[in-house]
Chain A
Amino acid sequence: MSRGKLKVFLGFAPGVGKTYAMLEQGHRLRSEGRDVVIGFVEPHERAETAAMIGDLELIPRRSMTYAESVFEEMDLDGILARNPEVALVDELAHTNVPGSRNTKRWQDVDELLDSGIDVLSSVNIQHLDSLNDVIFEITDILQRETIPDEVVRKAAEIELVDLTQEGVRERLAAGKIYPAERIDAAMANYFRSGNLGALRELALSWTADRVEEAVAKYRELHGIAHPWETKERVVVALAGAEGAEGVIRRAARLAMRSRADLVGVYVRPTHGLAEETSPSLSVQRELLQDLGGRYHEVVGDDPGNAVLAFAREENATQIVLGASRRSRFDELLRGSPTAKVIRNSDAIDVHVISYEGAHRPSRHFRPRHHKPISRLRLGIAWGIAIIGLPLITWVLRSVRGQVELNNVQLIYLLAAVVAGGVGGALPAAATAVAAFLLANWYFTPPQETWAIGSPDDLFSLFAFLVVSLAVGLLVGYSSRRSADARKARAQAEALAATTSLGHPVYESDRQGLLRRVRDVLALEAVSILRRVSDGWETLAWDGSRELSTPGEGSEVIDLTEEVVMVILDGRLSADDRIVLRAFAAQIVQAMKREELEREAESAGSMAETDRLRTALLGAVSHDLRTPLATIKASLTSLVETGLEWTPEETKSFLRTALDETERLNRLVGQLLDASRVQVGAVHVFYRPVGLEEVVAAALAGLDSSRDRLIVDISESLAEVQTDPVLLERVVANLVENALTWSPSDQAVRVSAGEVAGRIDLRISDRGPGIPPQARDTVFQPFQRLGDSPNREGVGLGLAVARGLLEAMGNELVIEDTPGGGTTMVIGLKIAGPIEMPVDAGVISG
């Protein structure tokens, strides 16, 4: 009895619709005539889901008593006894009540699979073992119900049930997930949008293309040692044999079923580098790409080992081979590649598929049709034959008597070799024959007759003919071979370049891809266009001019339903087309990756926002409560205890309450500013004002630290155009921050000066300084470097300062204080030309 197949519906949160999707498939399978039962489905009082159960047969649950409570569990033996074809089992990660046969439900499911029952099940991403700590970091909830990754990974099929995080929240708000009384709490906790975003990102990571990179990064970030492979790969070996298309289709189905990547590989023998590709291989390559597969070529003389090596490099989990039809003799002689692959495949599954059609790998290649040698080269070669030979003959005749016949023949041979090298075999042969005749006529005694005197000469002359023909032809042939090899190498390099373009692929890489296409194929221009409602939008282009509609090009290649590649060039060989198609596939993948990247990014930024919000709440509740607690303690001492306090004690309590009130007031002010900045509700009221006045007002609140401040602002500076009240708060925040970080024996310096048409206000401390890479993050809320808990404030000072400045249209720049420390520089606009008043008298009356 073969083991049953497991299909897992994977979700990123409760309520995305896993159970619903599972039930839906249950109905579908039953309508296909399969015997489907519900082993265990928990509709969680969700009406839609409960309705979906419909008339599917339910195996009654088993009641179990534990710790004086009654639990309902899946009746494993009941299902085994019923022995259906397919069983639906919800919540794969569920932990059974103690006393059950297995501790975990997935072990129950394992038993079902062992007895040949196919199982549809559901699980949420947070239950996966390897993600446990990551999920904990995101949600702060420790998942106790976990499930080994292998269980899910080994499933025949994993279906990601996806929904946007907003979709989930909408469903939650509409009461479709939890009863009304639990909605608010759920919204604020687990179902925070950022939370969901992060979980969804994780779930997408599992299924998205190129997940390995993201996962590796994630692992690095979170120090997860156990590697988890999330994406399977099916490698299909292409032999170029006729009729093997069925093998590729089969491989594609396999890949689709396990949501794996499909990769085709053709092993090109080293001696066949320049050979034309067989027509069936071209067809198969196109088919492979149509089915969503990637095509690769590797070079090797041992196909079996080459395929295996490739599969390992690709981390493939399955290899698909066509059944070899070699003769038994051949197999004995060279060993069967299929047998070799199977023997050495280790952990990789090997599928051998037989197919109808030709019974041997096609050796019947299309007659070679090389690109003709250029007209110029042909011209030169024939020029050597028609003009060069008479010229050589004339020169040789003028020095006749001084040159031996052998040397004459060598010089003619040289001409034939050069003609062959430049123009190929035909000019070489013609030159050889003509040279033979010329040598006979002019240089072989008796001269100027076809007769040949001595047998020696006869022999040497015919030897010359044979040698010059052979050498000329050989040189012609090999020069063409080397040109072919060069071309093949160029194409291989181009393909390698396209496939090795890492992720993420951004705009510039797409441009790079296009440029490469154009270079390799010597196209005049190439564009990628997207169909929009009223015509075409150019996504990228390269070349002599932009082709802005498909009509402007000579050829149009569909990349997706909406996107086409337009090229301008008349002559493309079959090889060129293959290269072009490979590029096209790569560009499509690049675009898909971009899309996925964007999606993952937005989910990521959501999580970041949420992190900030959580930090804010934490900081605020702590920092507001502390002074409130002190105030309450002080005042209740006076009012509630009924004790008699001395006037001094009373005063001391009141003084404490007052100080804390002041602290609270500052905090509330800062929070108000921060929230105004955040929602963009800062009202700016510009007035011309003297900077020294604003600074003086800002410093008035810092009585205790006044002797640590050096203020150097001339009143003869022009007035600045600003909101004095907002600027006062900015300066107060910055100075306070500077005082905090400066050692207590070092002064903070506030100075201003005119620079390039504006006025820079500089606040310099002698603190530890801020490294350049941290200069952006210090302005984020709650980002005090090396935070110490007893410092006052919620770490909003710098964030507020920058936010207010931005609202006023001013810049805040961090510089180093010469000699150590940080200088905050505010650039302010000059209000207008300053007109100095005239004071006539000098002495008071």
Chain B
Amino acid sequence: MAEEARILIVDDEPQIVRALSINLKALGYRIDTAATGEEALRIAAEHRPDAVILDLGLPGIDGKEVIRGLRGWTKIPIIVLSVRDAEREKIEALNAGADDYMTKPFGMGELVARLRAALRREADPGEDLPVVETPHFVIDLATKRVSLPDGEEIRLTPTEWGIVDMLVRHRGKLVTQTQLLKEVWGPEYGRETNYLRVFMAQLRRKLEPQPGTPRYFITEPGMGYRFQLPTE
């Protein structure tokens, strides 16, 4: 189903729009494009895309306004594109409701991976829970078991498991610190980022081949975490 999804690309750089369109069309997506925020909102309302790739630096109303406009009526994934050194803007965009971000210049492979992750429906608890296999460990969300490839079980604390569960369900997507804290610790949490650090470190020691330079449980400093399979 994903391959027929409709994607809205919003960027004022025609070259970028062209490159993205060619790639995504080749992958089977249907593409709409817009060069300004106003146009983007109008087309989104008309064509109801399944995901939006949105440049933050637009002429006219800026990217954050577009996100707020979209979030008024839809929960479709929004991936924002921003240049380096616009950290504050990136965070504001995430707070406004964006799902993920890419820093320009980006690689097409990475963008496609992010887009696929964003389009992937969140694993529905109870049915068809995925089993994630890596060369270093196997995570079975249904049985809540983590084991080494040879079958030996790795014991996790409930909190550790909560984090693994959340990140693996959103595999490939950015999970913000606040989302993680609210999901694992409870809705009254949100600022206790140091909790996350401690548990992420414990997790990495148990699961990562090189805990100091993780390859599965990635930190986006100051923003959140991402569970990522090296092949994606």
**Which of chain A's residues has its CB closest to B105's CB?**
A665
With an 8 A cutoff between CB atoms, is B9 at the interface?
Answer: no
Q: Which chain B residues border A710 with CB–CB below 8 Å?
A: 212
Within 8 A of B (CB), among A646-699: 661, 665, 669, 672, 676, 683, 685, 687-690, 692-697, 699
**Which of chain A's residues has its CB closest to B189's CB?**
A837
Q: What sequence of 0s and 1s flags, for each residue 696-708 of chain A, a beta carbon within 8 Å of any chain B beta carbon?
A: 1101100000100
Alpha-carbon gap, A586 to B20, bound state (A): 77
A680 to chain B, nearest CB (A): 14
Alpha-carbon gap, A693 to B218, bound state (A): 9
Q: Which chain A residues border B195 with CB–CB below 8 Å?
A: 837
Contact call B221/A724, Cβ cutoff below 8 A: yes
Contact call A715/B201, Cβ cutoff below 8 A: yes
- Asked if A845 meets B161 with Cβ closer than 8 Å, knowing A689-B221, A719-B194, the reply is yes
Alpha-carbon gap, A712 to B210, bound state (A): 11
Contact call A697/B219, Cβ cutoff below 8 A: yes
Query: Given A695, A834, A835, A839, which contacts B157 in the complex, CB threshold below 8 Å?
Result: A839
Alpha-carbon gap, A845 to B143, bound state (A): 9
With an 8 A cutoff between CB atoms, is B198 at the interface?
Answer: yes
Contact call B144/A845, Cβ cutoff below 8 A: yes
Q: Which chain B residues border A376 with CB–CB below 8 Å?
A: none
- Asked if A669 meets B84 with Cβ closer than 8 Å, knowing A690-B194, A715-B201, A844-B161, the reply is yes
Q: Which chain A residues border B221 with CB–CB below 8 Å?
A: 689, 693-694, 697, 724-725, 728
Contact call A700/B218, Cβ cutoff below 8 A: yes
**Which of chain B's residues has its CB closest to A833's CB?**
B194
**Which of chain A's residues has its CB closest to B208's CB?**
A696
With an 8 A cutoff between CB atoms, is A773 at the interface?
Answer: no
Contact call A844/B155, Cβ cutoff below 8 A: yes
**Which of chain B's residues has its CB closest to A837's CB?**
B195
Alpha-carbon gap, A546 to B97, bound state (A): 69
Alpha-carbon gap, A713 to B155, bound state (A): 24
Contact call A844/B156, Cβ cutoff below 8 A: yes
Alpha-carbon gap, A843 to B158, bound state (A): 7
Contact call A844/B197, Cβ cutoff below 8 A: no
Query: Given B158, B198, B201, which contacts A841 in the complex, CB threshold below 8 Å?
Result: B158
Alpha-carbon gap, A472 to B213, bound state (A): 100
B81 to chain A, nearest CB (A): 15
With an 8 A cutoff between CB atoms, is B160 at the interface?
Answer: yes
- Asked if A690 meets B197 with Cβ closer than 8 Å, knowing A842-B157, A845-B144, the reply is yes
Within 8 A of B (CB), among A40-90: none
Alpha-carbon gap, A842 to B145, bound state (A): 14
Contact call A696/B105, Cβ cutoff below 8 A: no
Alpha-carbon gap, A706 to B208, bound state (A): 14
Contact call A672/B85, Cβ cutoff below 8 A: yes
**Total count of chain A residues near the partner, CB < 8 A:** 43
> Which residue among A685, A723, A837 has the maximum number of chain B CB atoms within 10 Å of its CB?
A837
Q: Which chain A residues border B155 with CB–CB below 8 Å?
A: 842-844
Contact call A697/B212, Cβ cutoff below 8 A: no
Within 8 A of B (CB), among A603-644: none
Alpha-carbon gap, A844 to B192, bound state (A): 23
Total cross-chain contacts (CB, 8 A):
100
Alpha-carbon gap, A507 to B198, bound state (A): 57
Q: Which chain B residues border A672 with CB–CB below 8 Å?
A: 84-85
Q: Which chain B residues border A669 with CB–CB below 8 Å?
A: 84
With an 8 A cutoff between CB atoms, is A544 at the interface?
Answer: no
B87 to chain A, nearest CB (A): 5
With an 8 A cutoff between CB atoms, is A756 at the interface?
Answer: no
**Which of chain A's residues has its CB closest to B193's CB?**
A688
Within 8 A of B (CB), among A709-725: 709-713, 715-716, 719, 723-725
Query: Given A661, A685, A688, A711, which contacts B88 in the complex, CB threshold below 8 Å?
Result: A685
A53 to chain B, nearest CB (A): 58
Contact call B156/A692, Cβ cutoff below 8 A: no
Q: Which chain B residues border A843 with CB–CB below 8 Å?
A: 155, 157
With an 8 A cutoff between CB atoms, is B220 at the interface?
Answer: yes
Alpha-carbon gap, A453 to B43, bound state (A): 151
**Which of chain B's residues has its CB closest to A686's CB?**
B222
Query: Given A724, A837, A841, A842, which contacts B199 in the complex, CB threshold below 8 Å?
Result: A837
Query: Given A689, A692, A706, A841, which contacts B222 in the complex, CB threshold below 8 Å?
Result: A689
Alpha-carbon gap, A142 to B200, bound state (A): 65
Alpha-carbon gap, A694 to B201, bound state (A): 13
A679 to chain B, nearest CB (A): 14
Alpha-carbon gap, A839 to B201, bound state (A): 14
Q: Which chain B residues border A676 with CB–CB below 8 Å?
A: 85
Alpha-carbon gap, A692 to B194, bound state (A): 12
- Asked if A715 meets B197 with Cβ closer than 8 Å, knowing A696-B213, A844-B144, the reply is yes
Q: What sequence of 0s and 1s flags, for each residue 205-230 of chain B, a beta carbon within 8 Å of any chain A beta carbon?
A: 00000101110001111100000000
Q: Which chain B residues border A837 with CB–CB below 8 Å?
A: 159, 192, 194-195, 198-199
With an 8 A cutoff between CB atoms, is B34 at the interface?
Answer: no
A658 to chain B, nearest CB (A): 8
Alpha-carbon gap, A370 to B204, bound state (A): 95
> Which residue among A695, A697, A711, A834 has the maximum number of chain B CB atoms within 10 Å of its CB?
A697
Q: What sequence of 0s and 1s flags, for each residue 120-157 of chain B, a beta carbon within 8 Å of any chain A beta carbon?
A: 00000000000000000000000011100000000111
Alpha-carbon gap, A719 to B194, bound state (A): 7
Contact call B222/A711, Cβ cutoff below 8 A: no
Within 8 A of B (CB), among A417-455: none
Q: What sequence of 0s and 1s flags, for each residue 62-85 of chain B, a beta carbon within 8 Å of any chain A beta carbon?
A: 000000000000000000000011
> Which residue among B87, B145, B197, B210 has the maximum number of chain A CB atoms within 10 Å of its CB?
B197
B113 to chain A, nearest CB (A): 16
Q: Which chain B residues border A712 with CB–CB below 8 Å?
A: 212
Alpha-carbon gap, A113 to B161, bound state (A): 101
Alpha-carbon gap, A264 to B145, bound state (A): 101
Alpha-carbon gap, A695 to B221, bound state (A): 9
Alpha-carbon gap, A362 to B85, bound state (A): 85
Q: Which chain B residues border A835 with CB–CB below 8 Å?
A: 192, 194
Q: Which chain A residues border B219 with CB–CB below 8 Å?
A: 693, 696-697
Alpha-carbon gap, A676 to B84, bound state (A): 13
With an 8 A cutoff between CB atoms, is A333 at the interface?
Answer: no
B36 to chain A, nearest CB (A): 26
Query: Given B144, B159, B202, B214, which contacts A696 in the complex, CB threshold below 8 Å?
Result: B214
Q: What sequence of 0s and 1s flags, for each residue 580-595 of chain A, a beta carbon within 8 Å of any chain B beta carbon?
A: 0000000000000000
B107 to chain A, nearest CB (A): 8
B151 to chain A, nearest CB (A): 16
Alpha-carbon gap, A359 to B196, bound state (A): 104
Alpha-carbon gap, A689 to B87, bound state (A): 15
A764 to chain B, nearest CB (A): 15
Alpha-carbon gap, A844 to B202, bound state (A): 14
With an 8 A cutoff between CB atoms, is A840 at the interface?
Answer: yes
- Asked if A711 meets B158 with Cβ closer than 8 Å, knowing A696-B219, A697-B220, A845-B144, the reply is no
A291 to chain B, nearest CB (A): 64
A835 to chain B, nearest CB (A): 7
With an 8 A cutoff between CB atoms, is A347 at the interface?
Answer: no
Q: What sequence of 0s and 1s flags, for each residue 28-59 of chain B, a beta carbon within 8 Å of any chain A beta carbon?
A: 00000000000000000000000000000000
Q: Which chain B residues border A661 with CB–CB below 8 Å?
A: 105
Alpha-carbon gap, A711 to B201, bound state (A): 13
A730 to chain B, nearest CB (A): 12
B70 to chain A, nearest CB (A): 25
Knowing that A690-B193, A837-B159, A844-B145 are A-B contacts, what are 5 other residue pairs whose CB atoms are under 8 Å apart, sorted by A's residue number? A695-B212, A713-B212, A725-B221, A844-B146, A845-B144
What would 19 A/B residue contacts be, using CB atoms closer than 8 Å? A687-B222, A693-B221, A699-B212, A699-B213, A706-B213, A710-B212, A715-B202, A724-B222, A725-B222, A834-B194, A837-B159, A837-B195, A839-B157, A839-B158, A839-B160, A841-B159, A844-B157, A844-B158, A844-B161
Top 8 A-B pairs, shortest CB-CB distance: A711-B212, A715-B201, A724-B221, A690-B197, A724-B222, A844-B156, A837-B195, A693-B219
